[in-house]
């Protein structure tokens, strides 16, 4: 439990004065994300601790360096959890890094991401100004939504020091079934399942199997699982199920092993299956698809765009070139202007998101 | 004339007719009159021209023209806004998106709809219902307000407690920038590379761009929805009951509260069967599978009695459920009948502060000698105190505004904010200073500058002008 915000503000202010690029670091669990970027390390990991938590408000406020493991444990003690189920990366994942990368777990399509949960932030902009946006209430439309803007910005708009976010009661029950089918059939079924008013909380396809998870009120989960009775399915034991979803979320399945480039597609959930002969993991009810192997990036981008989506080189591969999906000229211009509005001297994680940002 | 404007009204009208045709341009004051304000009619202004394009190509061409000529542009949906957000600028045009009202596509399999900005909120769910789907955010104005206006205000509704606000239910936007360029925001996937421009655009009150297309998420209609109405003889008890439900681990689809003025007015208007002797009424809706609803409705009812409710009523059918909601959904117009005028506030507070804040409002009501009817989204702490007044009594509007400002300040003091869903617009611009310091406001101006350096989009709204920002601008333009 420590507040080092004053020190951090001083460090950023002096970097601003001297135009020194900074590389923001917390747990280092997601150093592989984004481009390789240079800069003086700015370590925020000591700025940690839960600042306030009132279970009946369903809101927690914590400093950026607080580990997600600590947060989850504290919530669990009160029968609550982070609905975005972000990866813990062996305890190294921090709250700040989770917002900066906007990574979410299997329930993303139904429960939202950390971007959806965040309701307030404190941050230090590139001029060393300490700012507060949003607060601890769910609804707040005063001013631009600067807090959510930090999601996925990889720290290029500000050093996030404190975050308030919405939490939820833990579901009373959960169950996972596995059905054997090919990828195209799985995509179809994933979409059908999501179109029904059942508490689905995970749907992923890997190695010829569709995994479906339901979470919610006990009776609702039971009746959702019952509908598969007639089909050829296997229900996982609770521990087995937890292990599978966690290994997928933490990228510890065999699929993620090795150093072959890992591509992340973000597509319309019912987009036709691409490159059938390749190695895929389909998650988020079809909206997120992982691909392993060496590919031509611009060809993949074209394929993704054709399916109404995007692709980024999530991990491994050549990381000194661009790794994120190419933006249009207009998008690029707005990105540069926005960056200048927060960080006029481009000292915060320069080049981490795009080479030109 | 605006300092940037380079063209006369007549010249501008001639140029716009070339783009949209004479039938889509309103020049005379009498026909312009309905556009002088939004739902908050205490703020009025006449625009130079009212332009009603038929399609986005026309929107784009109008934007290019206005940018070239330095003419301010105020976008408008159907003008149901409650913060004078769509109030005209006297030197600018009103750009009405009301004619862009086509539902472009519904994809039942992916559960998405692609819409023009002028599509009415309720029309989306009506069109999606044949597929068993609906669009979740349901502002009480949903019969009239547009999805473009919803995006601009980040509108909420009674079902936002469980299903989120507009910002949680939009996948993609097409935005025409101030220079007339097309900016794609979001996509058909869930997460996109780069900055979350969606988060910035939603709730930006027409200050950053004009939205010409919107893709929304549709949700499966729940198998069952049921509502419990609980009556209390004390506002404090009802406030505590709200916290009790959430603490129980139940997230109701909606959890709304009304106080005695509102109950009486709504009952008179909608004949919903509300107990008019109650001091506070809670409406709690639970939805989901049959089993889930059964389980939760029982616990909620039990909780309400434990918290001191003197009566509870459960909806036994869809018709009864609609009836119970009817009173709540028509509460604003209902209150409009018991007072010549009313002023709706929109502060949000932490739930635990409900009882305290309601009590304080009561005290202020006595001190100002103005009645207050409370109707609000209790589940997410979003208050809507309606201050009853008579604009024809000299000084009463000013007194009302002062009272309203005090309520917003109180909301900030207890850890909340000045507006939960109605927006800042022209109305709450002074209270922005209560919620943000000058450095934060300067950051907002810098964001605005990133999109609209000449400040032509909806000028004078959303963010208060600061001396410092003007300096920032002049330094910046000197550097160019
Ligand atoms: C009786 C009543 C009940 C209400 N209940 C609720 C409620 O429950 N919840 C809630 O959140 N609100 C509520 N409102 C407020 C209002 O209905 C919402 O703010 C609504 O979203 C406004 O939509 P509109 O189409 O009328 O927009 P307008 O009032 O026309 O415009 C609102 C703002 O959006 C901008 N704008 C409009 N269209 C565009 C566009 N295409 N691109 C860029 N900017 C645009 C305008 O410039 C303006 O700043 C209520 C209003 C009334 C009168």
The pLDDT score that the predictor gives to residue A92 is 94
Q: Is the separation of the CB atoms in B331 and B394 below 8 Å?
A: no
- Which residues of chain B make contact with A108, given a CB cutoff of 8 A? 190-191
Question: Tens of pLDDT along B126-136?
Answer: 999 999 999 99
pLDDT band at B289 (very low <50, low <70, confident <90, very high): confident
Q: Do A138 and B424 touch (CB under 8 A)?
A: no
The pLDDT score that the predictor gives to residue A233 is 83
Beta strands in chain A (DSSP E): 22-25, 40-43, 50-54, 59-63, 80-81, 118-124, 130-134, 159-166, 168-169, 173-180, 200-206, 209-216, 233-235, 262-266, 280-283, 288-292, 310-315
Q: Does the structure show a pLDDT above 70 at A123?
A: yes
Closest Cβ–Cβ partner in B193, B220, B436 for A324? B193
The pLDDT score that the predictor gives to residue A112 is 97
Q: Does the structure show a pLDDT above 80 at B5?
A: no
Question: Tens of pLDDT along A39-97?
Answer: 999 999 999 999 999 998 999 999 999 999 999 999 999 999 999 999 999 999 999 99
Q: Does the structure show a pLDDT above 90 at B291?
A: no
- Average pLDDT rounded to a whole number, residues B329-334: 89
The pLDDT score that the predictor gives to residue B248 is 86
Query: Which residues 228-257 of A are in CB contact (within 8 Å) with B?
Result: none
pLDDT band at A1 (very low <50, low <70, confident <90, very high): low
Q: Is the separation of the CB atoms in B59 and B53 below 8 Å?
A: yes
- Which residues of chain A make contact with B226, given a CB cutoff of 8 A? none
Q: Is the separation of the CB atoms in A179 and A232 below 8 Å?
A: yes
Rounded to the nearest angstrom, the minimum Cα separation between B79 and chain A is: 18
The pLDDT score that the predictor gives to residue B2 is 58
Query: Which residues 14-53 of A are in CB contact (within 8 Å) with B?
Result: none
Q: Do A131 and B112 touch (CB under 8 A)?
A: no
The pLDDT score that the predictor gives to residue B352 is 86
Take residue A131 and report the two structure tokens written for it: 């700012």
Instruction: State the count of interchain CB pairs (< 8 A) between A and B.
Output: 265
The CA B84 to ligand 1 mean position distance, Å, reads 10
The pLDDT score that the predictor gives to residue B480 is 37
- Average pLDDT rounded to a whole number, residues A158-186: 96
d(CA A315, CA B334): 58
- Average pLDDT rounded to a whole number, residues A293-313: 95
Question: Tens of pLDDT along A328-346?
Answer: 999 999 999 999 999 999 9
d(CA A280, CA A257): 13
- Average pLDDT rounded to a whole number, residues A17-33: 92
Q: Do B449 and A224 touch (CB under 8 A)?
A: no
Query: Which residues 276-305 of B are in CB contact (within 8 Å) with A?
Result: 288-289, 291-292, 294-296
Q: Is the separation of the CB atoms in B342 and B387 below 8 Å?
A: yes
Residue A122 CB partners (closer than 8 Å, separation 6+): A5, A130, A131, A132, A133, A160, A161, A162
d(CA B394, CA B403): 16
Pocket of ligand 1 (CB under 6 A): B 38-39, 74-82, 85-86, 97, 117, 139-141, 145-146, 148-150, 152-153, 155-157, 205-206, 210-211, 332, 421-422, 458
Classify residue B317 by burial, with Cβ atoms within 10 Å: 0-12, 13-18, 19+: exposed
Mean pLDDT of the residues in chain B: 93
Count of C-beta atoms within a 10 Å radius of residue B451: 26
Q: Does the structure show a pLDDT above 60 at B471?
A: no
């Amino acid at each position: 439990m420590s507040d080092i915000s004053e020190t951090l503000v001083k460090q950023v202010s002096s970097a601003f004065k001297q135009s020194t690029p900074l590389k923001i670091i917390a747990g280092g669990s997601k150093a592989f994300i984004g481009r390789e970027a240079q800069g003086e390390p700015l370590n925020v990991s000591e700025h940690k601790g839960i600042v306030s938590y009132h279970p009946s408000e369903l809101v927690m406020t914590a400093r950026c360096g607080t580990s997600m493991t600590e947060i989850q444990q504290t919530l669990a003690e009160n029968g609550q959890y982070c609905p975005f189920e972000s990866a813990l990366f062996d305890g190294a994942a921090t709250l700040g890094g989770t917002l900066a990368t906007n990574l979410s777990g299997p329930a993303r399509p139904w429960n939202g991401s950390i971007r959806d949960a965040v309701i307030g932030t404190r941050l230090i902009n590139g001029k060393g100004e300490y700012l507060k946006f949003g607060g601890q209430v769910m609804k707040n439309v005063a001013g631009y939504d600067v807090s959510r803007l930090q999601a996925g910005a990889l720290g290029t708009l500000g050093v996030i020091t404190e975050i308030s976010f919405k939490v939820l009661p833990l579901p009373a029950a959960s169950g996972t079934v596995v059905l054997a089918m090919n990828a195209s059939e799985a995509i179809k079924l994933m979409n059908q399942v999501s179109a029904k008013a059942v508490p689905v909380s995970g749907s992923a396809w890997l190695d010829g199997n569709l995994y479906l998870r339901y979470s919610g009120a006990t009776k609702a989960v039971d009746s959702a699982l019952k509908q598969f009775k007639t089909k050829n399915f296997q229900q996982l034991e609770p521990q087995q199920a937890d292990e599978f979803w966690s290994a997928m979320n933490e990228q510890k399945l065999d699929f993620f092993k090795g150093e072959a480039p890992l591509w992340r597609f973000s597509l319309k959930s019912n987009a036709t299956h691409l490159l059938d002969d390749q190695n895929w993991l389909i998650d988020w009810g079809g909206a997120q698809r992982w691909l392993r192997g060496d590919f031509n990036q611009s060809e993949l981008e074209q394929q993704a765009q054709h399916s109404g989506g995007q692709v980024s080189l999530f991990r491994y591969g050549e990381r000194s070139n661009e790794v994120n999906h190419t933006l249009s000229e207009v998008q690029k211009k707005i990105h540069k202007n926005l960056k200048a509005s927060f960080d006029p001297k481009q000292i915060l994680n320069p080049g981490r998101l795009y080479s030109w940002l | 004339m605006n300092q940037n404007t380079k063209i006369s009204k007549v010249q501008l009208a001639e140029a716009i007719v070339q783009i949209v045709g004479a039938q889509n341009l309103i020049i005379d004051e009498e026909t312009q009159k309905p556009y002088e304000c939004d739902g908050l009619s205490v703020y009025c202004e006449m625009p130079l021209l009212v332009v009603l394009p038929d399609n986005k190509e026309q929107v784009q061409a109008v934007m290019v023209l206005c940018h070239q000529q330095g003419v301010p542009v105020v976008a408008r949906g159907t003008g149901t806004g409650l913060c004078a957000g769509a109030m005209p600028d006297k030197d600018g045009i009103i750009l009405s998106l009301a004619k862009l009202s086509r539902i472009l596509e519904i994809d039942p399999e992916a559960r998405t709809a692609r819409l023009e900005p002028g599509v009415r909120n309720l029309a989306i769910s009506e069109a999606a219902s044949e597929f068993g789907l609906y669009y979740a955010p349901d502002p009480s104005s949903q019969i009239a307000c547009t999805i473009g206006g919803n995006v601009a205000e980040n509108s909420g509704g009674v079902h936002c407690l469980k299903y989120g606000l507009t910002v949680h239910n939009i996948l993609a936007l097409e935005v025409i920038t101030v220079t007339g360029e097309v900016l794609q925001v979001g996509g058909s996937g869930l997460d996109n590379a780069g900055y979350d421009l969606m988060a910035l655009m939603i709730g930006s009150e027409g200050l950053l761009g004009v939205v010409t297309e919107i893709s929304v998420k549709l949700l499966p209609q729940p198998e069952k929805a049921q509502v419990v109405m609980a009556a209390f003889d004390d506002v404090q008890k009802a406030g505590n009951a709200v916290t009790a439900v959430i603490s129980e681990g139940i997230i109701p689809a909606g959890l709304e509260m009304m106080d005695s003025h509102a109950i009486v007015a709504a009952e008179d208007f909608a004949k919903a069967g509300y107990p008019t002797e109650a001091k506070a009424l809670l409406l709690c809706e639970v939805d989901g599978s049959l089993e889930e609803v059964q389980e939760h409705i029982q616990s909620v009812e039990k909780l309400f009695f434990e918290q001191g409710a003197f009566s509870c009523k459960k909806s036994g059918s869809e018709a009864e459920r609609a009836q119970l909601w009817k009173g709540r959904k028509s509460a604003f117009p209902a209150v409009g009948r018991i007072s010549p005028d009313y002023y709706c506030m929109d502060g949000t507070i932490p739930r635990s502060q409900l009882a305290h804040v309601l009590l304080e409002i009561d005290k202020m009501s006595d001190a100002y000698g103005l009645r207050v009817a409370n109707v609000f989204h209790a589940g997410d702490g979003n208050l809507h105190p309606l201050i009853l007044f008579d604009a024809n009594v000299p000084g009463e509007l000013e007194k009302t505004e002062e009272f309203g400002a005090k309520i917003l300040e109180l909301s900030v003091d207890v850890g909340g904010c000045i507006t939960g869903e109605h927006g800042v617009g022209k109305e709450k611009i002074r209270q922005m200073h209560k919620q943000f310091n000058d450095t934060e406001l300067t950051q907002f101006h810098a964001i605005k500058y990133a999109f609209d350096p000449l400040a032509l989009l909806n000028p004078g709204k959303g963010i208060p002008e600061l001396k410092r920002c003007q300096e920032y601008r002049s330094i910046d333009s000197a550097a160019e």
